[in-house]
Structure 1
Amino acid sequence: MLYVALTVLLALGLAWYLWDYIKKQQHRTALPPPPKTVIEFWVYAEDPKLPSQEAIVEAIRGTPEIAKRFGPEEGLVFSDIRFSLGTVPREKNPYLFQQDTVLEKDAVLPDDFANRAERAAAIHTIRFVAEEPKYDDREAAALRLCAFCAVAIAALARGTLVVDIEAQSAWTPEEFERLVRQDPMGLDWNTAVREVTEEGDVVYLTRGLAKRGMYDLVTPQIAPDQRTVTKSLLEQVVEAAWQNPETQGPRVRTVKLEKIYDMNFMCLWYVGEPSRERHRSPWINCRFLRLGADDELDMDAEA
Protein backbone atom coordinates (compact mmCIF):
# COMPACT_ATOMS: atom_id res chain seq x y z
CA MET A 1 0.00 0.00 0.00
CA LEU A 2 2.82 2.37 0.90
CA TYR A 3 4.54 1.52 -2.38
CA VAL A 4 1.40 2.40 -4.36
CA ALA A 5 1.01 5.70 -2.51
CA LEU A 6 4.64 6.67 -3.16
CA THR A 7 4.26 5.75 -6.83
CA VAL A 8 1.15 7.93 -7.15
CA LEU A 9 2.86 10.85 -5.42
CA LEU A 10 5.90 10.49 -7.66
CA ALA A 11 3.70 10.41 -10.76
CA LEU A 12 1.79 13.49 -9.63
CA GLY A 13 5.03 15.31 -8.88
CA LEU A 14 6.44 14.48 -12.29
CA ALA A 15 3.23 15.56 -14.01
CA TRP A 16 3.25 18.89 -12.16
CA TYR A 17 6.92 19.45 -13.05
CA LEU A 18 6.26 18.79 -16.75
CA TRP A 19 3.19 21.04 -16.76
CA ASP A 20 5.12 23.87 -15.09
CA TYR A 21 8.04 23.46 -17.51
CA ILE A 22 5.75 23.57 -20.55
CA LYS A 23 3.95 26.68 -19.29
CA LYS A 24 7.26 28.46 -18.68
CA GLN A 25 8.49 27.58 -22.16
CA GLN A 26 5.27 28.83 -23.70
CA HIS A 27 5.57 32.06 -21.74
CA ARG A 28 9.17 32.49 -22.82
CA THR A 29 8.66 31.83 -26.53
CA ALA A 30 5.20 33.24 -27.24
CA LEU A 31 4.71 36.94 -27.78
CA PRO A 32 1.62 38.60 -26.30
CA PRO A 33 -0.94 40.12 -28.66
CA PRO A 34 0.21 43.14 -30.67
CA PRO A 35 0.30 46.26 -28.51
CA LYS A 36 -1.77 49.34 -29.11
CA THR A 37 -0.46 52.21 -31.14
CA VAL A 38 -0.35 54.98 -28.54
CA ILE A 39 0.62 58.59 -29.23
CA GLU A 40 0.10 60.94 -26.31
CA PHE A 41 1.28 64.45 -25.54
CA TRP A 42 0.38 66.53 -22.50
CA VAL A 43 0.63 70.31 -22.65
CA TYR A 44 0.80 71.99 -19.26
CA ALA A 45 -0.75 75.43 -19.73
CA GLU A 46 -1.62 78.56 -17.80
CA ASP A 47 -4.89 78.93 -19.73
CA PRO A 48 -7.29 76.16 -18.61
CA LYS A 49 -9.46 76.52 -21.72
CA LEU A 50 -8.65 74.15 -24.58
CA PRO A 51 -8.31 76.08 -27.87
CA SER A 52 -10.87 75.25 -30.54
CA GLN A 53 -9.97 73.01 -33.46
CA GLU A 54 -10.25 75.99 -35.79
CA ALA A 55 -7.78 77.99 -33.69
CA ILE A 56 -5.39 75.02 -33.57
CA VAL A 57 -5.47 74.58 -37.35
CA GLU A 58 -4.93 78.31 -37.87
CA ALA A 59 -1.92 78.24 -35.53
CA ILE A 60 -0.48 75.23 -37.37
CA ARG A 61 -0.85 76.95 -40.72
CA GLY A 62 0.72 80.08 -39.28
CA THR A 63 4.06 78.35 -38.72
CA PRO A 64 5.78 77.94 -42.12
CA GLU A 65 8.05 74.99 -41.21
CA ILE A 66 5.06 73.08 -39.81
CA ALA A 67 2.47 74.27 -42.33
CA LYS A 68 4.38 72.72 -45.24
CA ARG A 69 3.98 69.30 -43.57
CA PHE A 70 0.30 69.81 -42.74
CA GLY A 71 -1.76 68.39 -45.58
CA PRO A 72 -5.03 66.53 -46.22
CA GLU A 73 -3.76 63.34 -44.53
CA GLU A 74 -3.09 65.18 -41.27
CA GLY A 75 -6.36 67.10 -41.52
CA LEU A 76 -8.37 63.89 -41.84
CA VAL A 77 -7.01 62.64 -38.51
CA PHE A 78 -9.16 65.25 -36.75
CA SER A 79 -12.25 63.22 -37.73
CA ASP A 80 -10.72 59.85 -36.78
CA ILE A 81 -12.44 58.40 -33.70
CA ARG A 82 -9.03 57.22 -32.45
CA PHE A 83 -7.88 60.83 -32.12
CA SER A 84 -8.96 62.98 -29.18
CA LEU A 85 -8.25 66.28 -27.46
CA GLY A 86 -9.02 66.84 -23.80
CA THR A 87 -8.38 68.95 -20.73
CA VAL A 88 -7.53 68.00 -17.15
CA PRO A 89 -8.07 70.94 -14.72
CA ARG A 90 -5.65 71.19 -11.82
CA GLU A 91 -8.41 71.29 -9.21
CA LYS A 92 -9.79 67.93 -10.33
CA ASN A 93 -6.50 66.05 -10.66
CA PRO A 94 -3.76 67.87 -8.73
CA TYR A 95 -1.60 64.74 -8.51
CA LEU A 96 -0.98 64.86 -12.29
CA PHE A 97 1.01 68.05 -11.73
CA GLN A 98 3.56 66.17 -9.61
CA GLN A 99 6.65 64.88 -11.39
CA ASP A 100 6.76 61.49 -9.66
CA THR A 101 3.17 60.76 -10.68
CA VAL A 102 3.51 61.55 -14.37
CA LEU A 103 7.05 60.49 -15.21
CA GLU A 104 9.17 57.47 -14.39
CA LYS A 105 12.69 57.49 -13.02
CA ASP A 106 14.37 57.31 -16.44
CA ALA A 107 12.47 60.33 -17.80
CA VAL A 108 14.37 63.26 -19.30
CA LEU A 109 12.94 66.64 -18.35
CA PRO A 110 13.85 70.31 -17.82
CA ASP A 111 15.59 71.23 -14.58
CA ASP A 112 12.73 73.57 -13.69
CA PHE A 113 9.99 71.01 -14.36
CA ALA A 114 8.41 71.46 -10.92
CA ASN A 115 8.21 75.24 -11.25
CA ARG A 116 6.73 75.02 -14.74
CA ALA A 117 4.16 72.45 -13.66
CA GLU A 118 3.22 74.65 -10.70
CA ARG A 119 2.42 77.55 -13.02
CA ALA A 120 -0.02 75.47 -15.07
CA ALA A 121 -3.76 75.64 -14.45
CA ALA A 122 -4.58 72.64 -16.63
CA ILE A 123 -3.17 69.86 -18.79
CA HIS A 124 -4.37 69.73 -22.39
CA THR A 125 -4.06 66.20 -23.78
CA ILE A 126 -3.56 65.06 -27.37
CA ARG A 127 -4.07 61.33 -27.92
CA PHE A 128 -4.27 58.82 -30.74
CA VAL A 129 -4.89 55.22 -29.70
CA ALA A 130 -5.35 52.32 -32.13
CA GLU A 131 -6.56 49.17 -30.39
CA GLU A 132 -5.57 46.99 -33.36
CA PRO A 133 -2.55 48.73 -34.86
CA LYS A 134 -2.01 48.48 -38.58
CA TYR A 135 0.76 50.87 -39.32
CA ASP A 136 -0.15 52.84 -42.42
CA ASP A 137 -0.18 56.39 -43.74
CA ARG A 138 -3.02 57.36 -41.39
CA GLU A 139 -1.03 56.41 -38.30
CA ALA A 140 2.03 58.24 -39.60
CA ALA A 141 -0.14 61.30 -40.22
CA ALA A 142 -1.54 60.95 -36.69
CA LEU A 143 1.94 61.13 -35.20
CA ARG A 144 2.68 64.31 -37.12
CA LEU A 145 -0.67 65.87 -36.27
CA CYS A 146 -0.35 65.14 -32.55
CA ALA A 147 3.03 66.88 -32.49
CA PHE A 148 1.64 69.83 -34.47
CA CYS A 149 -1.32 70.14 -32.09
CA ALA A 150 0.98 70.12 -29.07
CA VAL A 151 2.98 73.01 -30.53
CA ALA A 152 -0.17 74.96 -31.42
CA ILE A 153 -1.90 74.42 -28.07
CA ALA A 154 1.24 75.42 -26.18
CA ALA A 155 1.33 78.67 -28.15
CA LEU A 156 -2.38 79.43 -27.79
CA ALA A 157 -2.85 78.42 -24.14
CA ARG A 158 0.43 79.82 -22.77
CA GLY A 159 2.04 76.44 -22.34
CA THR A 160 4.68 75.86 -19.70
CA LEU A 161 5.66 72.26 -20.54
CA VAL A 162 5.15 69.64 -23.24
CA VAL A 163 5.35 66.02 -22.09
CA ASP A 164 5.63 62.99 -24.36
CA ILE A 165 4.07 60.22 -22.29
CA GLU A 166 5.33 57.32 -24.41
CA ALA A 167 8.90 58.59 -24.77
CA GLN A 168 8.89 59.71 -21.12
CA SER A 169 10.43 63.05 -22.08
CA ALA A 170 9.48 66.64 -21.32
CA TRP A 171 10.51 69.93 -22.89
CA THR A 172 9.83 73.61 -22.64
CA PRO A 173 7.37 74.71 -25.36
CA GLU A 174 10.19 76.49 -27.17
CA GLU A 175 12.41 73.39 -27.19
CA PHE A 176 9.58 71.17 -28.35
CA GLU A 177 8.59 73.52 -31.17
CA ARG A 178 12.19 73.56 -32.39
CA LEU A 179 12.25 69.74 -32.53
CA VAL A 180 8.93 69.54 -34.39
CA ARG A 181 9.99 72.23 -36.84
CA GLN A 182 13.07 70.18 -37.66
CA ASP A 183 11.28 66.84 -38.02
CA PRO A 184 7.95 65.78 -36.46
CA MET A 185 8.93 62.14 -37.06
CA GLY A 186 12.43 62.58 -35.65
CA LEU A 187 13.86 59.41 -34.15
CA ASP A 188 16.06 61.30 -31.68
CA TRP A 189 13.17 62.83 -29.74
CA ASN A 190 10.31 60.39 -30.43
CA THR A 191 12.25 57.45 -29.01
CA ALA A 192 14.97 56.84 -26.47
CA VAL A 193 17.37 54.14 -25.26
CA ARG A 194 18.10 54.56 -21.57
CA GLU A 195 20.16 52.97 -18.85
CA VAL A 196 18.22 52.08 -15.71
CA THR A 197 19.45 50.60 -12.44
CA GLU A 198 17.06 48.12 -10.86
CA GLU A 199 17.97 46.64 -7.49
CA GLY A 200 21.64 47.16 -8.27
CA ASP A 201 21.43 45.69 -11.78
CA VAL A 202 21.92 47.83 -14.89
CA VAL A 203 19.55 47.19 -17.78
CA TYR A 204 18.83 49.11 -20.98
CA LEU A 205 15.32 49.85 -22.17
CA THR A 206 13.62 51.67 -25.01
CA ARG A 207 10.90 54.28 -24.96
CA GLY A 208 8.50 55.47 -27.65
CA LEU A 209 8.09 52.41 -29.88
CA ALA A 210 4.39 52.24 -28.98
CA LYS A 211 3.95 55.24 -31.29
CA ARG A 212 4.68 52.84 -34.14
CA GLY A 213 2.52 50.03 -32.77
CA MET A 214 5.41 48.03 -31.31
CA TYR A 215 6.61 46.76 -27.97
CA ASP A 216 9.33 48.52 -26.09
CA LEU A 217 12.42 46.42 -25.36
CA VAL A 218 14.36 45.73 -22.19
CA THR A 219 17.68 43.91 -21.84
CA PRO A 220 18.73 41.56 -19.07
CA GLN A 221 21.38 42.69 -16.59
CA ILE A 222 24.38 44.06 -18.50
CA ALA A 223 27.96 43.74 -17.24
CA PRO A 224 30.02 46.98 -17.16
CA ASP A 225 32.31 45.94 -20.02
CA GLN A 226 29.32 45.21 -22.29
CA ARG A 227 27.24 48.33 -21.75
CA THR A 228 28.61 50.53 -24.52
CA VAL A 229 28.14 47.82 -27.15
CA THR A 230 24.70 46.87 -25.84
CA LYS A 231 23.41 50.43 -25.96
CA SER A 232 24.76 50.93 -29.47
CA LEU A 233 23.16 47.71 -30.71
CA LEU A 234 19.83 48.57 -29.11
CA GLU A 235 19.89 51.99 -30.76
CA GLN A 236 20.41 50.27 -34.13
CA VAL A 237 17.42 48.01 -33.53
CA VAL A 238 15.23 50.98 -32.56
CA GLU A 239 16.28 52.90 -35.66
CA ALA A 240 15.48 49.97 -37.97
CA ALA A 241 12.14 49.35 -36.27
CA TRP A 242 11.17 53.04 -36.37
CA GLN A 243 11.95 53.38 -40.06
CA ASN A 244 10.29 50.09 -41.09
CA PRO A 245 7.59 49.27 -38.52
CA GLU A 246 5.90 46.63 -40.69
CA THR A 247 9.02 44.61 -41.46
CA GLN A 248 11.36 45.17 -38.52
CA GLY A 249 11.32 45.25 -34.77
CA PRO A 250 9.53 43.37 -32.00
CA ARG A 251 6.11 43.85 -33.56
CA VAL A 252 6.90 41.05 -36.03
CA ARG A 253 9.53 39.30 -33.93
CA THR A 254 12.18 39.41 -36.61
CA VAL A 255 15.71 38.31 -35.85
CA LYS A 256 18.08 41.10 -36.81
CA LEU A 257 21.77 40.93 -37.55
CA GLU A 258 23.68 43.97 -36.38
CA LYS A 259 27.32 44.81 -36.95
CA ILE A 260 29.52 46.90 -34.70
CA TYR A 261 33.27 46.99 -34.14
CA ASP A 262 33.59 44.51 -37.06
CA MET A 263 31.60 41.92 -35.12
CA ASN A 264 28.26 40.42 -36.10
CA PHE A 265 25.43 40.17 -33.60
CA MET A 266 22.02 38.57 -33.60
CA CYS A 267 19.19 40.30 -31.76
CA LEU A 268 16.25 38.23 -30.58
CA TRP A 269 13.34 39.00 -28.32
CA TYR A 270 10.87 37.08 -26.22
CA VAL A 271 8.09 37.89 -23.81
CA GLY A 272 9.20 39.60 -20.61
CA GLU A 273 8.62 38.45 -17.08
CA PRO A 274 5.69 40.11 -15.28
CA SER A 275 8.15 42.13 -13.19
CA ARG A 276 9.32 43.77 -16.41
CA GLU A 277 5.85 45.05 -17.27
CA ARG A 278 5.75 48.79 -16.84
CA HIS A 279 3.74 51.64 -18.21
CA ARG A 280 0.90 50.60 -20.55
CA SER A 281 2.20 47.65 -22.57
CA PRO A 282 4.21 44.52 -21.77
CA TRP A 283 7.91 44.92 -22.34
CA ILE A 284 9.69 42.44 -24.55
CA ASN A 285 13.03 41.08 -23.39
CA CYS A 286 15.81 41.34 -25.94
CA ARG A 287 19.20 39.72 -26.01
CA PHE A 288 22.23 40.11 -28.28
CA LEU A 289 24.27 37.10 -29.30
CA ARG A 290 27.69 37.48 -30.87
CA LEU A 291 28.13 35.36 -33.99
CA GLY A 292 31.29 33.79 -35.28
CA ALA A 293 32.88 34.97 -38.52
CA ASP A 294 31.55 31.95 -40.44
CA ASP A 295 28.03 32.00 -38.96
CA GLU A 296 25.17 32.69 -41.33
CA LEU A 297 21.73 33.93 -40.43
CA ASP A 298 18.47 34.02 -42.34
CA MET A 299 17.30 37.60 -41.83
CA ASP A 300 13.66 36.50 -42.05
CA ALA A 301 13.99 33.65 -39.55
CA GLU A 302 12.17 33.67 -36.25
CA ALA A 303 13.89 33.59 -32.90
Structure 2
Amino acid sequence: MHFTLRQLEVFLATARHENISRAAQDLAMSQSAASGALRELEQQFGVQLFDRLGKRLQLSELGRELRPEAESLLARAGAFEQALRGSEAAGSLRIGATLTIGNYLAVQMIAAFRERHPGADLALHVANTEAIVRKVADYELDIGMIEGEMHHPRLETRYWREDVLQVFAAPGHPLARKRRLGDDDLLAQAWIVREPGSGTRQTFERAMHGLLPELDIRMELQHTEAIKRAVEAGLGVGCLSAITLEEAFARGSLVPLRVPQRDFTRQLNLIVHRDKYHSATLRRWLDLCRETQSAARRGRSAG
Protein backbone atom coordinates (compact mmCIF):
# COMPACT_ATOMS: atom_id res chain seq x y z
CA MET A 1 0.00 0.00 0.00
CA HIS A 2 1.50 3.32 -1.09
CA PHE A 3 -0.48 5.65 1.17
CA THR A 4 -1.06 5.86 4.90
CA LEU A 5 -4.17 6.45 6.97
CA ARG A 6 -2.47 9.56 8.33
CA GLN A 7 -2.19 10.95 4.82
CA LEU A 8 -5.90 10.31 4.30
CA GLU A 9 -6.67 12.08 7.59
CA VAL A 10 -4.71 15.13 6.40
CA PHE A 11 -6.44 15.01 3.01
CA LEU A 12 -9.91 14.93 4.57
CA ALA A 13 -9.17 17.54 7.25
CA THR A 14 -7.84 19.86 4.55
CA ALA A 15 -10.94 19.23 2.46
CA ARG A 16 -13.12 20.21 5.44
CA HIS A 17 -11.22 23.35 6.41
CA GLU A 18 -9.83 24.33 2.99
CA ASN A 19 -6.75 25.42 4.91
CA ILE A 20 -3.70 23.36 5.85
CA SER A 21 -2.97 25.15 9.14
CA ARG A 22 -6.51 24.58 10.45
CA ALA A 23 -6.32 20.96 9.26
CA ALA A 24 -3.08 20.54 11.20
CA GLN A 25 -4.65 22.00 14.34
CA ASP A 26 -7.59 19.63 13.97
CA LEU A 27 -5.21 16.66 13.83
CA ALA A 28 -2.83 17.95 16.55
CA MET A 29 0.03 18.11 14.02
CA SER A 30 2.51 20.79 13.06
CA GLN A 31 1.68 22.66 9.89
CA SER A 32 4.89 21.45 8.25
CA ALA A 33 4.07 17.81 9.05
CA ALA A 34 0.56 18.16 7.63
CA SER A 35 1.85 19.92 4.49
CA GLY A 36 4.46 17.21 4.05
CA ALA A 37 1.94 14.39 4.37
CA LEU A 38 -0.35 15.98 1.79
CA ARG A 39 2.53 16.74 -0.58
CA GLU A 40 3.85 13.18 -0.32
CA LEU A 41 0.41 11.74 -1.07
CA GLU A 42 0.10 13.83 -4.21
CA GLN A 43 3.69 13.17 -5.36
CA GLN A 44 3.47 9.41 -4.80
CA PHE A 45 0.68 9.17 -7.37
CA GLY A 46 1.47 12.20 -9.51
CA VAL A 47 -1.90 13.83 -8.84
CA GLN A 48 -3.24 17.17 -7.66
CA LEU A 49 -5.94 16.82 -5.02
CA PHE A 50 -6.41 20.55 -4.37
CA ASP A 51 -6.43 23.74 -6.38
CA ARG A 52 -4.40 26.38 -4.54
CA LEU A 53 -6.31 29.68 -4.35
CA GLY A 54 -4.10 31.84 -2.15
CA LYS A 55 -4.29 30.43 1.36
CA ARG A 56 -7.40 28.49 0.44
CA LEU A 57 -7.14 24.90 -0.77
CA GLN A 58 -10.17 23.86 -2.81
CA LEU A 59 -10.72 20.24 -3.81
CA SER A 60 -9.82 19.55 -7.42
CA GLU A 61 -12.14 17.48 -9.59
CA LEU A 62 -10.12 14.36 -8.72
CA GLY A 63 -10.13 15.31 -5.04
CA ARG A 64 -13.93 15.56 -5.05
CA GLU A 65 -14.17 12.14 -6.69
CA LEU A 66 -11.82 10.53 -4.15
CA ARG A 67 -13.23 12.15 -1.02
CA PRO A 68 -16.10 9.65 -0.47
CA GLU A 69 -13.68 6.72 -0.86
CA ALA A 70 -11.28 8.28 1.64
CA GLU A 71 -14.11 8.94 4.10
CA SER A 72 -15.26 5.32 3.79
CA LEU A 73 -11.73 3.92 4.20
CA LEU A 74 -11.08 5.90 7.37
CA ALA A 75 -14.48 5.03 8.81
CA ARG A 76 -13.89 1.33 8.15
CA ALA A 77 -10.44 1.55 9.69
CA GLY A 78 -11.95 3.13 12.80
CA ALA A 79 -14.59 0.41 12.96
CA PHE A 80 -11.88 -2.27 12.60
CA GLU A 81 -9.92 -0.74 15.47
CA GLN A 82 -13.01 -0.64 17.68
CA ALA A 83 -13.74 -4.29 16.87
CA LEU A 84 -10.16 -5.22 17.81
CA ARG A 85 -10.69 -3.48 21.11
CA GLY A 86 -13.92 -5.41 21.62
CA SER A 87 -16.06 -2.25 21.72
CA GLU A 88 -17.86 -2.19 18.36
CA ALA A 89 -20.45 0.43 19.38
CA ALA A 90 -18.04 2.66 21.27
CA GLY A 91 -16.97 4.77 18.32
CA SER A 92 -17.59 8.45 17.63
CA LEU A 93 -20.56 10.11 15.97
CA ARG A 94 -21.03 13.71 14.88
CA ILE A 95 -24.75 14.52 15.01
CA GLY A 96 -26.32 17.62 13.53
CA ALA A 97 -29.76 18.75 14.63
CA THR A 98 -31.96 21.71 13.86
CA LEU A 99 -32.86 23.92 16.80
CA THR A 100 -36.16 22.35 17.83
CA ILE A 101 -34.79 18.81 17.57
CA GLY A 102 -31.45 19.69 19.14
CA ASN A 103 -32.92 21.49 22.14
CA TYR A 104 -35.99 19.34 22.80
CA LEU A 105 -35.33 15.81 21.46
CA ALA A 106 -31.69 15.06 20.66
CA VAL A 107 -30.20 15.70 24.10
CA GLN A 108 -32.44 13.11 25.75
CA MET A 109 -31.61 10.66 22.96
CA ILE A 110 -27.88 11.19 23.48
CA ALA A 111 -28.31 10.51 27.20
CA ALA A 112 -30.18 7.27 26.43
CA PHE A 113 -27.55 6.22 23.90
CA ARG A 114 -24.66 6.82 26.29
CA GLU A 115 -26.43 4.82 28.97
CA ARG A 116 -26.50 1.84 26.59
CA HIS A 117 -23.03 2.46 25.13
CA PRO A 118 -20.92 4.26 27.77
CA GLY A 119 -17.80 4.35 25.59
CA ALA A 120 -19.44 6.15 22.68
CA ASP A 121 -18.18 9.63 21.84
CA LEU A 122 -21.16 11.67 20.60
CA ALA A 123 -20.94 15.32 19.57
CA LEU A 124 -24.02 17.45 18.87
CA HIS A 125 -24.02 20.46 16.55
CA VAL A 126 -27.20 22.58 16.57
CA ALA A 127 -28.02 24.95 13.70
CA ASN A 128 -30.79 25.67 11.22
CA THR A 129 -31.74 23.31 8.39
CA GLU A 130 -29.59 24.97 5.71
CA ALA A 131 -26.46 24.74 7.87
CA ILE A 132 -27.05 21.10 8.86
CA VAL A 133 -27.66 20.07 5.23
CA ARG A 134 -24.43 21.77 4.14
CA LYS A 135 -22.35 20.13 6.87
CA VAL A 136 -23.71 16.63 6.21
CA ALA A 137 -23.07 17.09 2.47
CA ASP A 138 -19.48 18.18 3.25
CA TYR A 139 -18.88 15.20 5.59
CA GLU A 140 -18.52 17.51 8.60
CA LEU A 141 -21.41 15.66 10.26
CA ASP A 142 -22.22 11.94 10.16
CA ILE A 143 -26.00 12.38 10.35
CA GLY A 144 -28.46 15.25 10.37
CA MET A 145 -31.84 15.49 12.10
CA ILE A 146 -33.82 18.21 10.40
CA GLU A 147 -37.25 19.85 10.47
CA GLY A 148 -37.35 21.19 6.93
CA GLU A 149 -37.93 19.67 3.52
CA MET A 150 -34.71 19.09 1.65
CA HIS A 151 -33.61 17.86 -1.78
CA HIS A 152 -29.87 17.43 -2.20
CA PRO A 153 -28.19 15.19 -4.79
CA ARG A 154 -25.55 13.93 -2.35
CA LEU A 155 -27.87 13.22 0.57
CA GLU A 156 -30.36 10.51 1.42
CA THR A 157 -33.47 11.56 3.33
CA ARG A 158 -35.25 9.17 5.71
CA TYR A 159 -38.60 9.91 7.32
CA TRP A 160 -38.29 10.01 11.11
CA ARG A 161 -41.46 11.21 12.86
CA GLU A 162 -44.41 13.59 12.69
CA ASP A 163 -44.50 17.08 14.18
CA VAL A 164 -46.94 19.99 14.17
CA LEU A 165 -46.52 23.74 14.57
CA GLN A 166 -48.73 25.65 16.99
CA VAL A 167 -49.81 29.30 16.84
CA PHE A 168 -49.67 30.88 20.29
CA ALA A 169 -50.00 34.13 22.23
CA ALA A 170 -49.66 35.60 25.69
CA PRO A 171 -52.65 34.83 27.95
CA GLY A 172 -53.62 38.52 28.00
CA HIS A 173 -53.67 38.86 24.21
CA PRO A 174 -57.13 39.74 22.75
CA LEU A 175 -57.07 36.59 20.57
CA ALA A 176 -56.60 34.34 23.61
CA ARG A 177 -60.34 34.51 24.24
CA LYS A 178 -61.33 33.48 20.71
CA ARG A 179 -62.31 29.86 20.08
CA ARG A 180 -60.76 29.84 16.62
CA LEU A 181 -58.94 32.25 14.33
CA GLY A 182 -59.88 33.07 10.76
CA ASP A 183 -57.60 34.42 8.05
CA ASP A 184 -58.62 37.99 8.86
CA ASP A 185 -57.39 37.45 12.43
CA LEU A 186 -54.05 36.13 11.14
CA LEU A 187 -53.60 39.12 8.85
CA ALA A 188 -54.29 41.58 11.66
CA GLN A 189 -51.46 40.29 13.90
CA ALA A 190 -47.83 41.21 14.41
CA TRP A 191 -45.89 37.96 13.94
CA ILE A 192 -42.69 36.86 15.67
CA VAL A 193 -41.22 33.92 13.76
CA ARG A 194 -38.06 31.96 12.99
CA GLU A 195 -35.55 33.19 10.44
CA PRO A 196 -35.52 32.20 6.74
CA GLY A 197 -33.56 28.99 6.21
CA SER A 198 -35.06 27.25 9.24
CA GLY A 199 -37.38 24.28 8.91
CA THR A 200 -39.93 25.94 11.18
CA ARG A 201 -40.08 29.02 8.93
CA GLN A 202 -40.45 26.77 5.89
CA THR A 203 -43.47 25.00 7.40
CA PHE A 204 -44.97 28.30 8.62
CA GLU A 205 -44.79 29.80 5.13
CA ARG A 206 -46.34 26.70 3.58
CA ALA A 207 -49.19 26.80 6.11
CA MET A 208 -49.76 30.50 5.43
CA HIS A 209 -49.84 30.11 1.65
CA GLY A 210 -51.94 32.86 0.09
CA LEU A 211 -51.49 35.20 3.08
CA LEU A 212 -47.71 35.63 3.14
CA PRO A 213 -47.44 38.89 1.16
CA GLU A 214 -49.85 40.58 3.58
CA LEU A 215 -48.63 39.09 6.87
CA ASP A 216 -47.01 41.54 9.28
CA ILE A 217 -43.72 39.76 10.10
CA ARG A 218 -42.59 42.04 12.88
CA MET A 219 -39.57 40.07 14.14
CA GLU A 220 -37.41 37.18 12.86
CA LEU A 221 -35.41 35.42 15.58
CA GLN A 222 -33.04 32.46 15.50
CA HIS A 223 -33.97 30.90 18.83
CA THR A 224 -37.26 29.47 20.02
CA GLU A 225 -36.79 30.73 23.57
CA ALA A 226 -36.33 34.28 22.31
CA ILE A 227 -39.56 34.00 20.33
CA LYS A 228 -41.44 32.70 23.37
CA ARG A 229 -40.11 35.52 25.55
CA ALA A 230 -41.11 38.13 22.97
CA VAL A 231 -44.63 36.69 22.71
CA GLU A 232 -44.94 36.53 26.51
CA ALA A 233 -44.02 40.22 26.57
CA GLY A 234 -46.99 40.98 24.30
CA LEU A 235 -44.98 41.93 21.22
CA GLY A 236 -47.02 39.73 18.91
CA VAL A 237 -48.09 36.15 18.23
CA GLY A 238 -45.78 33.29 17.34
CA CYS A 239 -45.73 29.91 15.65
CA LEU A 240 -43.38 27.13 16.81
CA SER A 241 -43.31 23.38 17.14
CA ALA A 242 -45.79 22.17 19.75
CA ILE A 243 -42.89 20.25 21.33
CA THR A 244 -41.24 23.52 22.33
CA LEU A 245 -44.39 24.95 23.95
CA GLU A 246 -45.54 22.17 26.28
CA GLU A 247 -44.00 23.60 29.46
CA ALA A 248 -45.13 27.17 28.72
CA PHE A 249 -48.71 25.99 28.13
CA ALA A 250 -48.63 23.92 31.32
CA ARG A 251 -47.60 26.87 33.48
CA GLY A 252 -49.93 29.28 31.66
CA SER A 253 -47.32 31.77 30.46
CA LEU A 254 -48.47 31.16 26.87
CA VAL A 255 -51.73 29.89 25.38
CA PRO A 256 -52.44 27.99 22.14
CA LEU A 257 -54.56 29.56 19.41
CA ARG A 258 -56.69 27.36 17.15
CA VAL A 259 -56.31 27.86 13.39
CA PRO A 260 -58.18 24.85 11.99
CA GLN A 261 -58.28 26.03 8.37
CA ARG A 262 -54.47 25.99 8.08
CA ASP A 263 -52.28 22.87 7.93
CA PHE A 264 -49.30 23.13 10.27
CA THR A 265 -48.26 19.45 10.18
CA ARG A 266 -44.82 18.43 9.02
CA GLN A 267 -42.38 15.55 9.25
CA LEU A 268 -38.99 15.41 10.88
CA ASN A 269 -36.32 13.74 8.76
CA LEU A 270 -32.91 12.11 9.05
CA ILE A 271 -30.27 12.87 6.43
CA VAL A 272 -27.05 10.99 5.68
CA HIS A 273 -24.56 11.27 2.83
CA ARG A 274 -25.30 8.75 0.09
CA ASP A 275 -21.65 7.60 0.13
CA LYS A 276 -21.39 7.50 3.92
CA TYR A 277 -20.08 4.29 5.49
CA HIS A 278 -22.50 3.20 8.22
CA SER A 279 -20.37 2.43 11.25
CA ALA A 280 -21.73 0.36 14.14
CA THR A 281 -22.27 3.58 16.11
CA LEU A 282 -24.25 5.17 13.29
CA ARG A 283 -26.35 2.02 12.83
CA ARG A 284 -27.19 1.95 16.53
CA TRP A 285 -28.13 5.64 16.46
CA LEU A 286 -30.50 4.92 13.57
CA ASP A 287 -31.96 2.07 15.65
CA LEU A 288 -32.59 4.51 18.50
CA CYS A 289 -34.27 6.93 16.09
CA ARG A 290 -36.62 4.15 15.01
CA GLU A 291 -37.42 3.40 18.67
CA THR A 292 -38.31 7.03 19.38
CA GLN A 293 -40.43 7.07 16.21
CA SER A 294 -42.45 4.11 17.50
CA ALA A 295 -42.77 5.69 20.95
CA ALA A 296 -44.03 8.96 19.44
CA ARG A 297 -46.56 7.05 17.34
CA ARG A 298 -47.83 5.20 20.41
CA GLY A 299 -48.12 8.48 22.28
CA ARG A 300 -50.27 10.00 19.53
CA SER A 301 -52.50 6.91 19.49
CA ALA A 302 -52.95 7.03 23.27
CA GLY A 303 -53.77 10.74 23.11
Specify if TM > 0.5. no
* Normalised TM-score (structure 2): 0.22
* Normalised TM-score (structure 1): 0.22
